[in-house]
Amino acid sequence: VKGCVIFSSGFAETGAEGRAIEDRLRETAARTGIRIIGPNCLGVFNSFSGFYGCFSNTLDRVFPQAGPLSIISQSGAVGSHIYWLTRDRGLGLRYWVSTGNECDVDAAECVSFAAEDPGTKVIALYLEGARNGQRLVSALRRAAALKKPVIALKVGRSEVGAIAAASHTASLAGGDAVYDAVFRACGVYRASSLEELVDVAEVAAQGRFPKGPRLGVVTISGGGGIMVADEADAVGLTLPEMPADAQADLKAVLPFSSPRNPVDITAQAFNDLDLFGRYLDRIVGCGAYDAVIAFFTTVAGSPTMAPKLIEALGKVRESHPDFPIIISMLADAALTRRYADQGYATIADPGRATRAVAALWQLAQGMAPVPDAVPPSPVPAGEYDEVRSRALLSTVGIPVVQGRVATSAGGAVEAWRAAGQPVAMKVAAAAIAHKSDIGGVALGVDGEAAVREHFERLLAAGKRHAKGSAVDGVLISPMVTGAVETIVGVNRDPVFGPVVMFGLGGIFVEVMKDVAFRLAPFDEATAEAMIREIKGFPMLDGVRGRPRADVGALAKALADVSRFAAAAGDSLESLDINPLAVLPVGEGVLALDALVVPARR
Amino acid sequence: VKGCVIFSSGFAETGAEGRAIEDRLRETAARTGIRIIGPNCLGVFNSFSGFYGCFSNTLDRVFPQAGPLSIISQSGAVGSHIYWLTRDRGLGLRYWVSTGNECDVDAAECVSFAAEDPGTKVIALYLEGARNGQRLVSALRRAAALKKPVIALKVGRSEVGAIAAASHTASLAGGDAVYDAVFRACGVYRASSLEELVDVAEVAAQGRFPKGPRLGVVTISGGGGIMVADEADAVGLTLPEMPADAQADLKAVLPFSSPRNPVDITAQAFNDLDLFGRYLDRIVGCGAYDAVIAFFTTVAGSPTMAPKLIEALGKVRESHPDFPIIISMLADAALTRRYADQGYATIADPGRATRAVAALWQLAQGMAPVPDAVPPSPVPAGEYDEVRSRALLSTVGIPVVQGRVATSAGGAVEAWRAAGQPVAMKVAAAAIAHKSDIGGVALGVDGEAAVREHFERLLAAGKRHAKGSAVDGVLISPMVTGAVETIVGVNRDPVFGPVVMFGLGGIFVEVMKDVAFRLAPFDEATAEAMIREIKGFPMLDGVRGRPRADVGALAKALADVSRFAAAAGDSLESLDINPLAVLPVGEGVLALDALVVPARR
C-alpha cells in the first residue's frame, strides 16, 4: 500500500486525545513511507483516470468532465462547492483534492504536484491556514515559474473567522495579512470569494493574458459601460480613450454612437447585428488596449440574435487569436458553451468581468523577483535597549541619528551644546525597553537649565524602574525636523518567518491601520512598491506643499531591514524602528529610535 | 392619447440639436397632459395585464411570471439584465420601466407609482443620475413610509464612470457621495452590483426581516462558516456564541460537532439527514439570533439528499414562520424552487448570502427620522471674510472663538495681553477670503515684539492683495490647545441642495478622504451617526491616552449647521468651518475659522 485516504473525523480537530491519535498516524506515515491524505477529509478524485476516492455528494449527479483545472481545498465541502461552480460553467477538471487535517500530505505538496503535472494548466486553492510556510512558498513559486496560474481563496480574515478556521482543521495559521504578502511574493491571485475564485480560474484557463492594465469596453448600453468603468477604477485598470482614427471610423459607421471608451454601439445593434463584430474588431485591433470587455447582456442569450453574433465573434477571434476578451452576458449553458467554443470567456456580471481582467493582469505580471538567499547571521542574545539596538542597526547599514550617552548633567549639557539645537533625551538602561511608559523620554529640550533638569529627572526615573540593574545614563540626540515619520517593523510569523511591516507614524498606523507587509528578504523595487501601497503615500510625495521625502533612501532602508531580518531568521523575535524619519529627497533617512527583541532561546 | 413611449434615440444625448427637439417634446407633454416615457428608452412592460410596450430582446424567449417586484431602470439594457437575473431565480415581476432620457416621466415618479401600487412589494432601482433631487427624495421616503423596500444600484462612482453616465442619458448627476447620503436618509439599500441588487430584492420579497444584527450560522463545513464569519465582520453583523444550553443540547446529539457559532454539523449530516432539521431548529429557536444562514452547499442540490432535507426544512419553517433564514446552496432551478416554496431564500455564495442579511437589517431599520421643515432664512448677500462669517455662525448657535480686530500695533498688543496666552493673528479684509494663500496668517504668536512685527507684516500683505478695497485690520484670537481639529463643510449640490460634510482636520480629509455626508437638515442623532461613521473616529474617542472629545457638543454643532444650511437653501453656495476645534468632554466646540460663500445671484 503506497497511499491511503482517511475520511474519518475525530482527530486533532476534537482536542488532545484526537491529536495524539493523529500524531501516531503521522509517525506511521513517516516510518513506512505510506502517504496519507486526511484524516477528516472528503478524499480525492482524478477525472482523467476515473478514480473517485471520495464521498462528495456531487458525484451522485454526474461525473466530472476532464479539463485543465486542479482544485486543492483544505475543506471538503468548500472544495465540492468550487468544483460544482466550475462544472456549471463548463470548466473541465484535472485533480480534486481535499486535504483535511493534513497529518501527512498538505495543500502545499498538492500545489507542487499540480504545478509539475503537465495536464494541469490552472490551480484553484482554498486555504484556511498553512503549517509549513516555507513549503507553501516554494510550491507557489514553483507554480509561478512553470507559468501555472494559482488563484487562492484564503479565509479567516476576521477575528471570528480566524478562530473558526483554527478550530475547523486544527491548523496553526499565520496572520492573515501575512498571506497577502506571501501571495504577492509568489504571483498568486488572492480571490475574495468562491465566485471570484471560479471566475478567475475560468478566464485564466483560456490562456490569454493582458500585457498591461489598459481596458477597452464595448457595450450595447451606456449603463454596462459605466459599471465596468466604476469597477476598473476600483481595481486599478485604466480606460484610455480610443485613438482618434478609430473613433472616426466608428462614427462613420454609426453617427450617434459614442466611441470614446466605453464604446457604446447603442440599441442600433438590434437593427444591424453586423455592428457587434465591426465594433469589437476595431476596438481590439486599435492598439490602445490590453484587454476588452464586451457588455452584450441578454442580447447574447437571445435565440434570434445569438447565432449571427456568435458567427461575427468567430471572425474577430480569427483576426486576434491571443487577445483577452471577456463577454459580460446572460445565456443558458448550451449557448454559453458556443461562445466558449469560439474562444471567448463569459462572465455574467460586468463588475466581476472587470475584476477578472485585473486578476489576469496581476497573474500576467508573475511573481516578485525571488530574492538572493541571505547568509544566516543570528542576532546576538541578550537584552537590547535603544543604544544597543541602534548600534546593531548601524552595522547593517541603516542610518541612525547620532547620539551620546551622558553620565552626568555636565556631560548632558556638553552633548546639547555639541548638537547646536534642541535635543531628544532618553534614559539609557538595558533593562528598560519601553522608555516612554516610565516617563523616560524628553523631546525638544533646549537651554542649559532645561537639559540639567531633564537629565536628573530621567536618571531618577530610570533608577526607579531598572530594578537594581544598571542605568547607563541619558542618551542625547539632536531633534530632527522637516521629516516624515514612518514606522518599520519586523515580526517573526510562526509559519512564514520574518515579515517586514511598513507604515506612516502615529495615527496612520494606530488609527487607520494603514500598513503594508512583505516576506523578508526583498529588494529595493519591492520595497518601493510596498511604500506606494499605503493610502498615506501622498504624505511622502509632497502633499500640501511639503518637500518630497527621500523615497529611494527609504526603500533601501526597508530592503536592508528585510535582509537583516532574513539573516537573523529565528534568532529575531521582533524589531521596531519607530520613528524612521524620512528626510527630503537627497537627504536620506534616519532611525530616531529602535528596539531589537531577540528570540527567547 | 394619454401616454406614449418613445424608443428612438437621437435626442439630448447627441448634443444641442437633439436637446432642442427633446425640449419640444417636454413642452408638448406639459401643454397637452400626454405623459411621455423616454425618449431613448426600451419602453415598459406590465406582467399582470400582459402589456409589452418595449423592444427588450428578453421577451423573445419567455414572458415574465407575475410577482411582487417592480424594476425601474434608467438604462433599458441594464433593466433587461436585472429582469433576466430575477427571472432566472424565480422572482416574479410586477412592473418594468426603462426611463431613458426622462423628458417627462422620471425614475422618481416611477418609484412613487410603484410605492403606491398595492401589487408591488419590492422596488429595484437602477440609477445613473437624478435631475430633480427633491422629487427623488420624496418618492423614496414615501416608499419607506409604505414599507416597500427600495434597493438601488447607483452607478458613476468613478470619474470615468461619471463622465460616461453624463454622456449616456445626458443627465446632470449630483455628486456620487451625495447619493449615499440620500439613500441613507431614505432607508434605501445601495447595492454595489447587479447581482447584489437581485440578491437583496429576492430575499426582501420574502418579507422576513431581522430585528437586529445578530447572525447565527449553521454549516456542514467549517469552511462555509469561516467565509460567513469573514463577510459578517466586513458588513457589520455580529456572530455571538450559542447559549450554553443550546450548545449542550447539540453536543448531546453529536459529540464531535462544534456548536459555538458558526455551528458545524460536520459531514456526519450525510449519515444522518435528520441532523439538518434538528440543528437548524435549535439555532433558530435559541433566541440569540436575528437571522440565520445555513451553508448546505451542493448537499442541498443532491437528488439523493434533497427530498429529506426539504421535508425537514418545511417543519422548521412551520415552527418559525417569520424568522429570516437564507440557505447558501447549489442546486438546479427546479430544486431551488422547492426550497423557495418552503419559505427559504437561497443564495449560492455564502459571502453574498451574508451581505444580503446585512442589507435586510439595514432595510428593517427604515429611513432616518424625517427632519422638521426649517423656515427659510436666506444668507444676506455680499462678501464674507472670516469676521463676518464668524458673526453669522454665532447667530445660529455655533460657538466661535473670541476675536478682536486690531487696527494698530498697539491695539494688537493689547488684544494679545487680554488673551493672556499665545494668539492667532489673521488679516481681516472683506476682499481676502483665503488668507493663508497670501501669507495672511500667523499662529502661536507670543511676546510684544512678535505681535508688533506680525501685525505690520500681515497688514502689509493684506494691503498688497486687497486690490484697493478696505483692509479692516488684524483679527486676534487666543490659540486653542488640547482640541481635536475637525472640518465641517456645507456644499450646495446642484440636484439635492445643501449637503453637510464632516471629517477630521488635516491629512484625514486631504490624504485619507475620510469624510461623511448627510443631506441638510438633520437632527443630533443623525449627526452622531455621521461622526461615528468616519474611520478616524478613535481620534475623538480618546485614542492613545488623550481625553475624549465632546462628541455631544460636536453633534449639536453639526445639526445646527445642517439647519442653518437648510434654512439658507439656494442662497448659500458653501460654508467651511476649518477647523472646528472639539474640546474634551464637557468643554464643547469652538469654530476657529470659518468662511461663508453666498450664492451668486
Residues of B in contact with A75 (CB under 8 A): 221-224
Q: Is B333 left (phi over 0), alpha (psi -120 to 50) or beta?
A: alpha
What count of CB pairs under 8 Å joins A to B? 265
Residues of A in contact with B216 (CB under 8 A): none
The answer to whether the Cα torsion of A293, A299, A300, A305 is positive or negative is negative
Q: Rounded to an integer, what distance in angstroms lies between the CA atom of residue B486 and that of residue B474?
A: 24
Q: Which pLDDT tens digit goes with each residue over B487-523?
A: 999 998 889 999 999 999 877 887 888 889 999 999 9
- The values of phi and psi at residue A572, to 5°, are -110, 120
Q: C-alpha cell of B114?
A: 410603484
Task: Give kind and range of the element (H or E) at residue A86.
Answer: helix A76-88
Q: How confident is the model at residue B21 (pLDDT cuts 50, 70, 90)?
A: very high
**Chain A contact for B129, CB < 8 A?**
no
Are B302 and A60 within 8 A, CB to CB? yes
Are A81 and B297 within 8 A, CB to CB? yes
What's the pLDDT at A294?
Answer: 96
Sheet holding A189-190, edge to edge: A51-54, A43-46, A93-98, A66-73, A122-127, A150-154, A189-190
Q: Chain A: nearest CA to B408, how far in angstroms?
A: 32
How large is the ipTM? 0.91
**Chain B contact for A194, CB < 8 A?**
yes
Longest dimension (CA), chain A: 95
Q: C-alpha cell of A340?
A: 466558449
Q: Which pLDDT tens digit goes with each residue over A435-466?
A: 888 889 999 999 999 999 999 999 999 999 88
Alpha helix positions (H), A117-158: 133-145
Are A223 and B168 within 8 A, CB to CB? yes
Total Cβ atoms within 10 A of residue B334? 8
**What is the CA A83 to chain-centroid distance, rounded?**
24
Q: Which pLDDT tens digit goes with each residue over B517-556?
A: 999 999 999 999 999 999 999 999 988 778 999 999 999 9
Q: What mean pLDDT is reported for chain B? A: 92
What's the pLDDT at B510?
Answer: 78
Strand partners, A564: none
What's the pLDDT at A201?
Answer: 98
Residues of A in contact with B260 (CB under 8 A): 167
Amino acid at position B134, single letter: Q
Q: What is the distance in angstroms between the CA of the first residue and the CA of the last residue of chain A?
A: 42
Give the residue carrying C-alpha cell 537594581.
Answer: A468
Task: With 0.90 as the threshold, say if the pTM is over it.
Answer: yes
Q: Rounded to an integer, what distance in angstroms lies between the CA atom of residue A365 and that of residue B40?
A: 42
Q: Rounded to an integer, what distance in angstroms lies between the CA atom of residue A184 and that of residue B170?
A: 42
Q: C-alpha cell of B500?
A: 453637510
Are B222 and A158 within 8 A, CB to CB? no
Q: Rounded to an integer, what distance in angstroms lies between the CA atom of residue A348 and that of residue B334?
A: 21
**Chain B contact for A400, CB < 8 A?**
no
Give the residue carrying C-alpha cell 511604500.
Answer: A531
Does residue B175 or residue B404 have the better pLDDT? B404
Does residue B176 or residue A229 have the better pLDDT? A229
Strand partners, A502: A488, A516
Does residue B563 or residue B273 have the better pLDDT? B563
Helix axes A107-116, A133-145, angle to 10 degrees: 20
Q: C-alpha cell of B527?
A: 449627526
Task: Give kind and range of the element (H or E) at residue A72.
Answer: strand A66-73
Residues in chain A predicted with pLDDT less than 70, given as ranges, are: 160-174, 601
What's the pLDDT at B165?
Answer: 58
Q: Rounded to an integer, what distance in angstroms lies between the CA atom of residue B529 and that of residue A374?
A: 52
The answer to whether the Cα torsion of A342, A345, A348, A351 is positive or negative is negative
What residue of B is the nearest CA neighbor of A226?
Answer: B161
For residue B537, CA distances in Å to B47, B488, B490, B556, B580 come to: 49, 14, 20, 17, 15
DSSP B156-188: --SHHHHHHHHHHH---PPPHHHHHHHHHHHT-
Q: Are strands B423-428 and B441-445 parallel, antiparallel or unpaired?
A: antiparallel
Residues of B in contact with A73 (CB under 8 A): 223
Please tell me whether the peptide bond between B521 and the residue prior to it is cis, using omega within 30 degrees of 0.
yes
- Is residue B541 within 8 A of residue B565, CB to CB? The reply is no
Q: Rounded to an integer, what distance in angstroms lies between the CA atom of residue A516 and that of residue A501?
A: 6
- Is residue A124 within 8 A of residue A101, CB to CB? The reply is no
Strand partners, B328: B295
Q: Which pLDDT tens digit goes with each residue over B27-82?
A: 999 999 999 999 999 999 999 999 999 998 888 878 899 999 999 999 999 999 99
DSSP A284-325: HHTSS-SEEEEEEEGGGG-TTTHHHHHHHHHHHHHH-TT--E
What's the pLDDT at A28?
Answer: 96
- The values of phi and psi at residue B73, to 5°, are -135, 135
Of B14, B57, B168, which has the smallest distance from its Cβ to A226's Cβ?
B168
What's the pLDDT at B161?
Answer: 67
Residue B520, helix vs strand vs coil: coil
Burial (CB count <10 Å: 0-12, 13-18, 19+), residue B64: buried
Residues of A in contact with B222 (CB under 8 A): 75, 128, 164-165, 167-169
Are A352 and B193 within 8 A, CB to CB? yes
Q: Rounded to an integer, what distance in angstroms lies between the CA atom of residue A456 and that of residue B189?
A: 62
Of A160, A304, A510, which has the smallest distance from its Cβ to B229's Cβ?
A160
**Chain A contact for B544, CB < 8 A?**
yes
Q: What percent of chain B has pLDDT over 70?
A: 97
Burial (CB count <10 Å: 0-12, 13-18, 19+), residue B548: middle
**Chain B contact for A439, CB < 8 A?**
no
Q: Chain B: nearest CA to A12, how far in angstroms?
A: 11
CA-nearest of B402, B407, B408, B409 to B424 is B402
Helix axes A222-235, B76-88, angle to 10 degrees: 80
Of A58, A221, A222, which has the smallest distance from its Cβ to B298's Cβ?
A58
The answer to whether the Cα torsion of A434, A438, A444, A446 is positive or negative is negative
Q: C-alpha cell of A524?
A: 529595493
Are B330 and A193 within 8 A, CB to CB? no
What's the pLDDT at A170?
Answer: 38
Of A10, A57, A226, which has the smallest distance from its Cβ to B305's Cβ?
A57
Burial B284-314 (b: 16+ CB within 10 A, else e): bebeebbbbbbbbbbbbbbeebbeebbebbb
What's the pLDDT at A166?
Answer: 56
Sheet holding B325-329, edge to edge: B263-264, B215-219, B291-297, B325-329, B345-346
Interior angle at CA B98, CA B94 and CA B100, nearest 5: 165
Does residue B431 or residue A526 have the better pLDDT? A526
Interior angle at CA A492, CA A487 and CA A495, nearest 5: 135
Sheet holding B51-54, edge to edge: B51-54, B43-46, B93-98, B66-73, B122-127, B150-154, B189-190
Residues of A in contact with B14 (CB under 8 A): 256
Q: Which pLDDT tens digit goes with each residue over B125-168?
A: 999 999 999 999 999 999 999 999 999 999 988 776 666 655 44
What's the pLDDT at A601?
Answer: 67
Residues of B in contact with A176 (CB under 8 A): none
Residue B580, helix vs strand vs coil: strand
